């Protein structure tokens, strides 16, 4: 563990005291600005069972990461200090939950103690599948992005999955260790005992990169003077959602903590971060702050450049995602966009016994438009057809270009009968619409509703079967599929 030393201020003559106070006044202001928040904070309302729980548990053993500065650590006096300690202190004050520190030497020891039931709560951690085996989690106390740290000569990383033969240093037992091992088998993980060791390996060219909290990386780089390091990218969805974890048996404790966490404001969180990241250290010698000022400017420049590249990478990733999930001709979502959300829609409808229906539409004799009037005219027809569908739907419904001249409508909170009526109205609007090809167009529709045990493939297949019947029974009509073998007019 990185040693935390107690600094002593050397005696100084009166003419130096004014200079020292001038250098320390920003920190003093932050401290005085934060103190009223801790003393004037409101208490939360607990119900009878929650009050009874706290009476039965006058002290609640808490395990922490003993070496994760500035988030948290155990100081030489055996106290829990850092951002997590300050946030938990506010939650404790507002709920009445009284935590006592269960000391450990490493984060892995804390996890072992938690599994054994020696501590009812863990302080500052991400939720993972492995941890959900024995823990339940509160709402986040803090959200902090994780960034890729490399040496300054390393190129920016836009796709971690595309790297080959690279090593990444990560502390053992952390959520990021678990997630990187699962999601990026192309990387070789070098396990470390601490955040500092992981960054030291990168600085010494013993590892290609590390994935660390932006706050921790900035603080460690500044304190250790590792200005040969830089931020080289960010993995979307890999931010730290730092929560408290409690044993699965302690649901009441989790509910109490959530009530306290809900009272934390953005201002309180920001002031706590500033209080620890911008800490001033007074040494026992007169310090020349010129070099420190230049190093601070260098760090600021490095972080500013890295954050600019992160913003660019995020913007490019967002653009790529939109391109991958949007039909370029009509602007509607494509099949890729619905891959995950459609499955969740069906599962949600089944779980809560809510109606969900789909309508599969196909433009009748569309091939004749392409063959006789050209594909440019066909594209114009498709664009206008998509606009017609979009304007006829509720905001909660989804229109998607399923392929070619086929379009899929997902109708939430809609029964089979209601979806059939909607399909009839859409077909009537199509009959009455004047398309740019200057000829009357019609469409056929197949309707199906979600049933127990349905998947996306089965639901859409029933709608497609109904559409086939509509096409082969004269076109310009609606057919629906009640079950696997029943087609209904």
User: Would residue 10 count as lying in a domain?
Assistant: no
Phi/psi-derived region of residue 276, left when phi > 0, alpha when psi is between -120 and 50, beta in every other case: alpha
DSSP 34-86: HHHHHHSPPPPP--HHHHHHHHH-SSEEEE--TEETTTEEE-TTS-EESHHHH
| Cα→Cα distances 335→54, 402, 452, Å | 51, 6, 23
User: Would residue 234 count as lying in a domain?
Assistant: yes
88 and 197 belong to one structural domain: no
CA distance 270 to 112: 32
Q: Return all residues near 84 (Cβ < 8 A) that are at least 6 apart.
A: 64, 71, 72, 123, 124, 141, 242
50 and 192 belong to one structural domain: no
Cβ of 133: how many Cβ atoms within 10 Å? 9
Token output for 79: 């106290």
49 and 124 belong to one structural domain: yes
CA distance 111 to 118: 10
348 and 451 belong to one structural domain: yes
110 and 178 belong to one structural domain: no
Q: What are phi and psi of 447, to 5 degrees?
A: -120, 140
CA distance 366 to 382: 9
User: Would residue 275 count as lying in a domain?
Assistant: yes
User: Would residue 191 count as lying in a domain?
Assistant: yes
Token output for 6: 């107690």
For residues 328-341, average pLDDT: 82
The larger pLDDT score, comparing residue 234 to residue 55, is at: 55
Q: Which residues span the domain enclosing 165?
A: 146-238
Count of CA atoms in the C-beta half-sphere (13 A) of 408: 26
Q: Could you report the per-residue pLDDT of 226-247, keeping only the tens digit for each? A: 778 888 888 877 888 899 999 9
Q: Could you report the per-residue pLDDT of 269-311, keeping only the tens digit for each? A: 988 887 887 533 333 444 445 555 666 666 666 666 667 766 7
Last residue of a domain, one of 238, 270, 304: 238
341 and 462 belong to one structural domain: yes
Q: Return all residues near 234 (Cβ < 8 A) that are at least 6 apart.
A: 145, 146, 147, 148, 310, 313, 314
| CATH code, domain carrying 470 | 3.30.70.270
CA distance 91 to 260: 5
Token output for 109: 């020891």
CA distance 72 to 81: 6
Q: What are phi and psi of 145, to 5 degrees?
A: -70, 145
When divided into structural domains, the chain yields a total of 3
137 and 275 belong to one structural domain: yes
* pLDDT, averaged across the chain: 82
The larger pLDDT score, comparing residue 395 to residue 290, is at: 395
| CATH code, domain carrying 57 | 3.40.190.10
- Kindly tell me if the per-residue pLDDT of 29 is higher than 60: no
- Which residues are known catalytic residues? 405
Q: Calculate the CA dihedral of residues 450, 452, 456, 461 and round it to 10 degrees.
A: -70
pLDDT of 284 reads 41
Last residue of a domain, one of 205, 238, 271: 238
Q: Are 63 and 108 in contact (CB under 8 A)?
A: no
127 and 269 belong to one structural domain: yes
User: Would residue 71 count as lying in a domain?
Assistant: yes
CA distance 142 to 251: 21
pLDDT of 146 reads 84
The model's confidence at residue 11, banded by pLDDT at 50, 70 and 90, is: very low
User: Would residue 392 count as lying in a domain?
Assistant: yes
Residue found under tokens 């993980």: 189
Percent of the residues in the chain that have a pLDDT greater than 70, as a whole number: 80
Q: Which of 14-23, 46-55, 94-103 has the lowest mean pLDDT?
A: 14-23
For residues 146-174, average pLDDT: 88
DSSP 357-397: EEEEEEETTHHHHHHHH-HHHHHHHHHHHHHHHHHTS-TTS
pLDDT of 273 reads 84
Token output for 25: 């006044």
The larger pLDDT score, comparing residue 40 to residue 312, is at: 312
Residue of 194, 236, 188, 185 whose CA lies nearest to 209: 188
Coil/strand/helix, residue 278: coil
Q: Could you report the per-residue pLDDT of 57-102, keeping only the tens digit for each? A: 999 999 999 988 888 999 999 999 999 999 999 999 999 999 999 9
Q: Is the dihedral of CA 72, 76, 80, 81 positive or negative?
A: negative
For residues 358-378, average pLDDT: 92
169 and 79 belong to one structural domain: no
Residue found under tokens 């076109």: 475
Residue of 269, 259, 153, 146 whose CA lies nearest to 205: 153
Length of the chain in terms of residues written? 489
Last residue of a domain, one of 267, 282, 297: 282
Q: Could you report the per-residue pLDDT of 118-130, keeping only the tens digit for each? A: 999 999 999 988 8
User: Would residue 86 count as lying in a domain?
Assistant: yes
269 and 412 belong to one structural domain: no
User: Would residue 287 count as lying in a domain?
Assistant: no
217 and 253 belong to one structural domain: no
Question: Model-level pTM?
Answer: 0.47
Q: Which of 91-105, 147-161, 253-267, 410-424 has the lowest mean pLDDT?
A: 147-161
The larger pLDDT score, comparing residue 391 to residue 419, is at: 419
Q: Calculate the CA dihedral of residues 62, 65, 71, 76 and round it to 10 degrees.
A: 90
pLDDT of 438 reads 85
352 and 444 belong to one structural domain: yes
């Amino acid at each position: 563990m990185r040693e935390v030393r107690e600094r002593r201020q050397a005696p100084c003559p009166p003419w130096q005291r004014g200079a020292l106070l001038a250098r320390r006044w920003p920190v003093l202001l932050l401290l005085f600005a934060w103190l009223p928040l801790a003393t004037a904070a409101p208490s939360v309302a607990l119900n009878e069972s929650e009050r009874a729980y706290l009476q039965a548990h006058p002290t609640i053993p808490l395990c922490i990461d003993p070496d994760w500065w500035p988030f948290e650590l155990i100081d030489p006096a055996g106290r829990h200090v850092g951002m997590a300690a300050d946030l938990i202190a506010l939650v404790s004050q507002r709920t009445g939950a009284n935590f006592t520190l269960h000391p450990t030497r490493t984060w892995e020891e804390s996890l072992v103690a938690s599994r054994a039931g020696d501590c009812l709560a863990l302080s500052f951690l991400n939720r993972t599948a492995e941890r959900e085996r024995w823990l339940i989690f509160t709402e986040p106390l803090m959200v902090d992005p994780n960034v890729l740290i490399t040496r300054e000569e390393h190129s920016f990383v836009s796709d971690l999955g595309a790297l080959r033969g690279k090593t990444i240093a990560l502390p053992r037992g952390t959520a990021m260790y678990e997630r990187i091992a699962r999601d990026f088998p192309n990387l070789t993980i070098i396990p470390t005992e601490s955040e500092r060791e992981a960054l030291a390996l990168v600085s010494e060219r013993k590892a290609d990169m590390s994935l660390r909290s932006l706050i921790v990386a900035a603080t460690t780089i500044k304190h250790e003077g590792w200005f040969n390091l830089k931020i080289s990218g960010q993995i979307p969805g890999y931010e730290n959602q730092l929560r408290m974890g409690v044993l699965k048996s302690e649901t009441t404790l989790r509910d109490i903590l959530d009530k306290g966490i809900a009272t934390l404001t953005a201002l309180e969180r920001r002031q706590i971060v500033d209080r620890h990241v911008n800490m001033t250290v007074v040494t026992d010698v007169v310090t020349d702050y010129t070099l420190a000022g230049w190093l601070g400017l260098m760090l600021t420049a490095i972080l500013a450049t890295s954050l600019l590249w992160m913003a660019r990478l995020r913007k490019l990733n967002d653009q790529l995602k939109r391109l991958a999930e949007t039909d370029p001709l009509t602007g509607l979502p494509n099949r890729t966009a619905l891959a995950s959300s459609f499955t969740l829609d069906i599962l949600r409808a089944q779980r809560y016994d809510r109606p969900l229906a789909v309508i599969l539409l196909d433009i009748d004799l569309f091939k004749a438009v392409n063959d006789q009037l050209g594909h440019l005219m066909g594209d114009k027809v498709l664009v206008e057809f998509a606009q017609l569908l979009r304007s006829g739907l509720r905001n909660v419904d989804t229109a998607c270009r399923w392929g070619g001249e086929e379009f899929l409508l997902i109708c939430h909170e809609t029964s089979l009968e209601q979806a059939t009526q909607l399909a009839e109205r859409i077909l009537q609007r199509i009959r009455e619409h004047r398309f740019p090809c200057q000829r009357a167009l019609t469409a056929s529709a197949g309707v199906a509703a979600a049933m127990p045990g349905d998947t996306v493939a089965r639901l859409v297949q029933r709608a497609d079967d109904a559409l086939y019947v509509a096409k082969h029974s004269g076109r310009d009509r609606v057919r629906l599929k009640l079950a696997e073998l029943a087609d209904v007019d």
